[in-house]
Structure 1
């Protein structure tokens, strides 16, 4: 169950007094703090926030809001009370759950597709199975078909993106995601004509879904997306730099993340572009921590913060070393991977990008702050992005706070979070010093509440967030692991038309010597907890008579259909607990290819709880 601290355990953090609560839902009051409600108005000193159950029922000054009789009181005198932070882009991994909460991030927009696994994680957190932020998922993103509509759709079990080739396919994709429980809709890359995406954008908005569009182009960028609808989140600023360049032809095919195109910025074009995007109420997600590593004013501090993250007490009891070092490698200084000319151009691009963002907000536009982990550490990365909005872009701390709370909620059409107001979820951050004076004060966290409960911000060696993991570093991959290995194995060993291997190689399905098997896809890839006996169809190669499937290391009845197809009969007992089943294929000895081994690459069958809805299989 989700860990939280009882009121009496909070004495070391905040002064608290308790009295007997009313029957039914607990009433909790945060009293005496300065309220920063997420709307951008003047902070309210000596405030009262009333919480009943998991919702806020009243918030305002002590003169306006009455403390209910019998309420439990959290005394926040001298402290500052804000909405829980909302990350506009978190590529969620299981071990991010507790770090997010530690840093006061109570909601995360998971805009990169995580298929049904994302829904399983979201639902498990929402049901209190383990601790974590609220996750808002896109399920599978809409990917463009390329300029000539010929990009192949190589979708396999558990993939996070799928190519559409027509407007009709794009609309059907959006409808299916919404029906399956998507919270938001993501359009990937803009790699295709606007005419394919526009009807799907209209459909998503008709369904009331927030949209984020990674409009990097080259065919569809921010300006084209703005023509499709209003109030859309443009990831990586919609590649605006390529559309406001003095010589646009120079950047016509530029789709990279770094802000190099802004180095060629035409200020007049930039101002016109700003006015147009503002008129369409676009929200810009610049991802400064991800796209311009090393060019921030206080980059040395960022590097040290990223090192210090590893020293959070208890974190390393389960947090993968890989994940720590991945970020450390990512934040090395520019001189380690760029030449002087490249550094000069990118520095100019970063400066002009910051200028563009500042003028966008000055013109009435809004930014949303995102960690874009794993390019940053979960939780910390959002604080670093908000800090960059102040230090590098020139926003006020209050604007940066909005960019990490209410503006994200507005952009993604999530009405329940991002503000302290009646009816909102009681996700609240209490900090010791004024973040409107210094944005770094936002990290001086005293208390975090989620769902009206005070959270235990410690790290726990028995954290259950990894129950759906595949491997400890890469739980967000598709259901078939080792695809590169399998591809190399196939090139080296699979001879589809060979029936006789002669004296030193494998033959056909009845070969006396076994090749090493490989797995390419499985169906179904997701089976809910409590399911009956289920046949898993495995697509791969080098299957022979005597090939057997292993589930969590144990053989199950296997029917070899052909050299590329088999069926594994998985007994119902395997689905008794939610999690993931490891599926491997093993060929009988002796082996013709001992250097590759006897067992295939791994595949994983997701076993979500019965309350999680699945995509239709085998198509999805």
Structure 2
């Protein structure tokens, strides 16, 4: 869905050409992958993905697979034995709607019992590196690049993507996505009206053509919607799944019964939808979850959407629609849409489960929505259930989540393909990150760089560095020089050569790359600028937005002029956690830009 995680890959690109250590969204020290072993979980309640099959079973695991379930089984010699008394064993959770950019996000997912994620829009080159299974991170399937209209939803995130606007382009578009490795096809039918932002969207005929093109290649087609009418349209088009729940009006009588005839599933993403309509997460206050939440995840949970004129009515409509759909037998899948504002990887699945129950599902139905239902819908036949022969993707929790859905938060153990995650190591890693996460204050306004020394030095933080899209194979270039007491940027932003295209200069004001600083006691950023070209931007990175930049544009003419940008212009931040500032070109073309007298005022 639409969200301000613009240029989510930018921090990794920006540091690439400098020879400096790349930014990490979590501390870089890895957690040693555990080894597969023979395992026996005794006296445990087993929820098999649909129902509780027994209240005091022993589950045997050998290597990556479940081998037996029974009430009178003996543990093999040498097996690790886990006491399951008073606990419930669930299949590993499956988050049916996320957006993934790096491995740390898969690691965080696993820490909260999510063993598989279904990505709904990502850069194919980034996903390629994440597909190799590893026991210390969730496994991923991905739609890759979504299908959208020129200027439509999905094109606003600061990098160019292929688009289409006619039905006769559908097969070529789908074939290109499959060649890139897409496991299924994601389509957008959304004009933005439901969230107060009008954008171009595909025609119904083009959506129909895309669904047919995907099916012709044996791929599923799922469609992003936000309104009742678009939901009806994509169901009529034969889509396999509907992503998000409509919010523009309450569900009319008979809607769910009609929807059931089309045999599509719905992933309502209530966690993010409730965030859009003003609900604040409280996950970081849960004592069972908080010790495993990285600082960036905590800030992401507290972030909000910069939407105006949107109230809680949309959230109520979505909850009512889910209740109707469940009653009509429409499959409901649990998905969070992490890392959008108000959500975070892994942990928000526990919020989604609680919201599904609030919408009218029983706890068992909510658990099914996060286990066997997405596995069945996406043909993941080796997971999502607890049965002999299936992968040992397992989540052990204290209590009975089929009676109290909040019990999923009391995690005792997580196994991914039979390998147990060391959650104590995760907790220690988080504790270390939290102890060093406070932003250093910049108490007083003052100059950052006047370049009179002839160097790229700054008054605080790291020196200015070159940044471009070459990390992702782009051809954009930039060269920084200090000339006549000013920083001179000469470069070219090359369109279409990389997932993200830009070239310019980057300042990181903290003591280390992307370490946050607090500038909330100051008013904003100012600098003098002269140049030729077009498409100049200041991108402000903050920790709470998960390294998602907030953008302000400016112009540069033949004479030096002063640019003043208050922090308040960067909607969604108070300046307390600034991690980086980028100045440069973001629109295709050559540019020559001089910057001088940069200051925080």
- The TM-score normalised by the length of structure 2 is 0.61
SS of residue paired to 1:378: coil
Deviation at 1:389, TM superposition (A): 1.0
Aligned to 2:400: 434
Provide, for residues 127-163 of structure 1, a one-character-per-residue CA deviation record: whole Å limited to 9, x for no partner: 56xx3211211121111358xxxx799799965x431
Q: Which residue of 388, 405, 409 corresponds with 2:355?
A: 388
SS of residue paired to 1:45: strand
1:180 aligns with 2:158: no
1:261 aligns with 2:224: no
Query: Are the aligned partners of 1:116 and 1:139 in contact in 2 as well (CA < 8 Å)?
Result: no
Q: 1:441 to 1:217 in 2, by over 3 A?
A: closer
Query: Are the aligned partners of 2:153 and 2:188 in contact in 1 as well (CA < 8 Å)?
Result: no
1:29 aligns with 2:40: yes
Q: How far apart are the structure 1 equivalents of 2:44 and 2:491? A: 60
Matches within 5 A, 1:277-316: 277-293=259-275, 303-307=281-285, 312-313=290-291, 315-316=293-294
Aligned to 2:333: 368
Deviation at 1:281, TM superposition (A): 1.4
SS of residue paired to 1:141: coil
Provide, for residues 455-479 of structure 1, a one-character-per-residue CA deviation record: whole Å limited to 9, x for no partner: 012143799xxxxxxxxxxxxxx94
Q: How far apart are the structure 1 equivalents of 2:242 and 2:285? A: 31
Q: 1:120 to 1:189 in 2, by over 3 A?
A: farther
Matches within 5 A, 1:94-493: 94=102, 95-123=104-132, 126-127=133-134, 131-145=136-150, 159=160, 161-190=161-190, 191-216=201-226, 221-229=230-238, 232-237=240-245, 239=246, 259-262=247-250, 265-267=251-253, 271=254, 273-293=255-275, 303-307=281-285, 312-313=290-291, 315-316=293-294, 319-320=295-296, 324-330=298-304, 343=311, 346-347=312-313, 349-373=314-338, 374=340, 375-390=342-357, 392-457=358-423, 458-459=426-427, 460=429, 479=469
Query: Are the aligned partners of 1:84 and 1:107 in contact in 2 as well (CA < 8 Å)?
Result: yes
Q: 1:595 to 1:422 in 2, by over 3 A?
A: farther
Relative to total residues, which structure has the larger strand share, 1 or 2? 2
Deviation at 1:408, TM superposition (A): 1.7
Q: How far apart are the structure 2 equivalents of 1:157 and 1:311? A: 33
Aligned to 1:83: 91
Query: Are the aligned partners of 2:114 and 2:346 in contact in 1 as well (CA < 8 Å)?
Result: yes
Deviation at 1:358, TM superposition (A): 1.3
Deviation at 1:196, TM superposition (A): 1.6
Provide, for residues 249-289 of structure 1, a one-character-per-residue CA deviation record: whole Å limited to 9, x for no partner: xxxxxxxxxx2422xx533xxx1x21221111121122222
Aligned to 1:533: none
Deviation at 1:394, TM superposition (A): 1.6
- The TM-score normalised by the length of structure 1 is 0.59
Query: Are the aligned partners of 2:400 and 2:407 in contact in 1 as well (CA < 8 Å)?
Result: yes
Structure 1, unaligned runs of 5 or more: 8-24, 240-258, 464-477, 490-505, 507-512, 527-537, 542-551, 553-562, 565-590, 604-620
Deviation at 1:426, TM superposition (A): 1.4
Structure 2, unaligned runs of 5 or more: 1-28, 191-200, 434-467, 505-512, 514-531, 534-557, 564-581, 587-601
Q: 1:32 to 1:158 in 2, by over 3 A?
A: farther
Aligned to 1:466: none
Query: Are the aligned partners of 1:430 and 1:445 in contact in 2 as well (CA < 8 Å)?
Result: yes
Query: Are the aligned partners of 1:157 and 1:525 in contact in 2 as well (CA < 8 Å)?
Result: no
Which structure: larger Rg?
1
Provide, for residues 147-186 of structure 1, a one-character-per-residue CA deviation record: whole Å limited to 9, x for no partner: xxxx799799965x43112334322222222233222321
Q: 1:158 to 1:138 in 2, by over 3 A?
A: farther
Aligned to 1:520: 493
Relative to total residues, which structure has the larger helix share, 1 or 2? 1
Query: Are the aligned partners of 1:84 and 1:106 in contact in 2 as well (CA < 8 Å)?
Result: yes
Q: How far apart are the structure 2 equivalents of 1:197 and 1:307? A: 42
Q: How far apart are the structure 2 equivalents of 1:107 and 1:397? A: 20
Task: Give the superposed CA RMSD.
Answer: 4.3
Q: How far apart are the structure 1 equivalents of 2:202 and 2:496? A: 29
Deviation at 1:72, TM superposition (A): 4.0
Q: 1:135 to 1:309 in 2, by over 3 A?
A: farther
